[in-house]
């Protein structure tokens, strides 16, 4: 039904979720309702089993070695802060007087960039590796060249939340291993969309959100720490764990070292069922479905005459979508379903508003918390409007939805083209 609001902001938060996710949240909140695993009565014991089952399912899904090394966090931002600041804190504490160096990339999210900038100074410095191409692709060789004798950690995202480009993190991780440097993978945009295997990809630390591609509830996420590395990562918080309560010092065993306080049990219960959905469906099927959607959208944009940055053959810039530029890979195999578009004459906020108010299509306008990525694309600001309009796909999007998006983009371009310059607001009335 064309009047249905078409949600295309899955890169921020996936919607809708599998029905079992909502059922698990409601069941925990209304039937159990207690702190999991901290008491001897049946409801608490069952809550503990639910938390454990979620750890086990996650390890099965991304190829970890131990459920105890899944640390639940508030979200992916919290997981990244724990990994980055935990590594730096340990280095500063155990090697006084020695500098600590970190490496990240221009395509990283503010969840990485802001902690690094907050740490910079007082013996901590970091290097930003620029993209090797206009679609945001990072060259692993550039990452290796940024490593120094004092480098403690390299951070890289698996897929960009701006261009959708898939990064060669397995190659990055392998190079880090050769240099004895830890590698932290930010899989905020890739987990649940493309295969992730910690062991095969030589990943040391894996930060993930629960509410994006995993299809779990908001307020969930985690950090997987390869066994043995917990000795190199300081905890950021201390408190009650329900274990070793006779001691007023934080436990050093996993996962209690990093999980003080009560868990978001209702959220983790929902996350567990979300991971079960993926295990039942299989990542190959999910990727195949997304490839079909991406192919249809790329074909529609190209047929409509949209441009692509960087340039690719067959994108003429001549047609009803000629005012649009796609930023990112022009082939589905090199990307995930995240598509950032700019309009030649309308700012991203206006274009997004036209799509919503005139066509019931919900997209995300702005800088997407990735300023250096937008600087790479030339969309950070300057003579043109800052940012882009981002449409991001999810597992419950179907081919007719892609056709509707292309039709909506075409209509919005036509409406903006026939509007007097500076009078776009009339379209929103």
- pLDDT by residue (tens digit) across 143-190? 999 999 999 999 999 999 999 999 999 999 999 999 999 999 999 999
Packed helices 265-281 and 42-62: angle between N→C axes, nearest 10 degrees: 40
Determine the Cα–Cα distance for residues 145 and 375; give it in Å rounded to an integer: 22
pLDDT at 419: 67
CATH class held by domain 282-428: alpha beta
377-404: pLDDT as tens digits: 999 976 666 899 999 999 999 999 999 9
**pLDDT tens per residue, range 335-355:** 999 999 999 999 999 999 999
Question: What's the average model confidence in pLDDT over 222-248?
Answer: 97
The answer to whether the bond into 127 is cis (omega within 30° of 0) is: no
143 contacts 154 by C-beta, under 8 angstroms = yes
| pLDDT greater than 80 at residue 427 | no
Is 420's pLDDT higher than 70?
no
Instruction: Tell me what pLDDT residue 426 has.
Output: 57
Question: In this model, does residue 421 exceed pLDDT 50?
Answer: no
Q: pLDDT band for 314, please (50, 70, 90 cuts).
A: confident
> Which two structure tokens, joined as six digits, stand for 153?
């950690």
**pLDDT reported for residue 1:** 43
| Domain parsing of the chain, residue ranges | 19-281, 282-428
The CATH label, of 3.40.640.10, 3.40.50.410, 3.40.1280.10, 3.40.50.11750, for the domain at 19-281 is 3.40.640.10
């Amino acid at each position: 039904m064309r009047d249905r609001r078409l949600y295309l902001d899955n890169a921020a938060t996936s919607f809708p979720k599998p029905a079992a996710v909502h059922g698990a949240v409601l069941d925990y909140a209304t039937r159990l309702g207690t702190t999991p695993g901290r008491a001897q009565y049946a409801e608490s014991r069952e809550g503990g089993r639910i938390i454990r089952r979620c750890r086990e399912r996650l390890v099965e899904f991304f190829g970890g070695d131990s459920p105890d090394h899944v640390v639940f966090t508030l979200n992916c931002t919290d997981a990244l802060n724990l990994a980055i600041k935990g590594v730096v804190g340990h280095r500063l504490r155990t090697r006084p007087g020695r500098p600590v160096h970190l490496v990240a990339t221009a395509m990283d999210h503010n969840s990485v960039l802001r902690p690094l900038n907050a740490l910079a100074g007082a013996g901590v410095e970091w290097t930003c590796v620029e993209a090797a191409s206009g679609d945001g692709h990072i060259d692993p060789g550039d990452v290796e060249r940024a490593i120094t004798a004092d480098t403690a950690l390299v951070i890289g995202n698996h897929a960009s939340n701006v261009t959708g480009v898939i990064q060669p993190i397995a190659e990055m991780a392998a190079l880090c291993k050769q240099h004895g440097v830890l590698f932290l993978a930010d899989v905020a945009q890739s987990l649940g969309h493309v295969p992730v295997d910690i062991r095969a990809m030589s990943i040391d630390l894996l930060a993930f959100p629960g509410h994006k591609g995993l299809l779990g509830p908001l307020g969930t996420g985690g950090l997987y720490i390869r066994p043995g590395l917990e000795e190199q990562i300081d905890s950021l918080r201390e408190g009650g764990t329900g274990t070793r309560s006779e001691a007023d010092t934080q436990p050093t065993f996993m996962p209690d070292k990093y999980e003080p306080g009560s868990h978001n049990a209702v959220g983790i219960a929902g996350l567990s069922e979300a991971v079960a959905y993926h295990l039942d469906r299989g990542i190959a099927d999910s990727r195949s479905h997304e490839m079909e959607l991406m192919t249809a959208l790329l074909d529609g944009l190209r047929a409509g005459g949209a441009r692509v940055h960087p340039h690719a053959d067959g994108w003429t810039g001549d047609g009803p979508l000629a005012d649009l530029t796609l930023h990112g890979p022009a082939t589905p195999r090199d990307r995930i379903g995240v598509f950032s578009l700019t309009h030649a004459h309308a700012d991203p906020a206006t274009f997004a508003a036209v799509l919503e108010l005139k066509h019931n299509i919900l997209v995300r306008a702005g800088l997407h918390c990735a300023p250096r990525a937008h600087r790479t694309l030339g969309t950070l600001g300057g003579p043109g409007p800052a940012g882009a309009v981002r449409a991001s796909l999810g597992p419950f999007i179907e081919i007719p939805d892609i056709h509707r998006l292309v039709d909506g983009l075409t209509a919005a371009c036509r409406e903006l083209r026939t509007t007097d310059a500076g009078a776009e607001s009339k379209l929103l009335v």
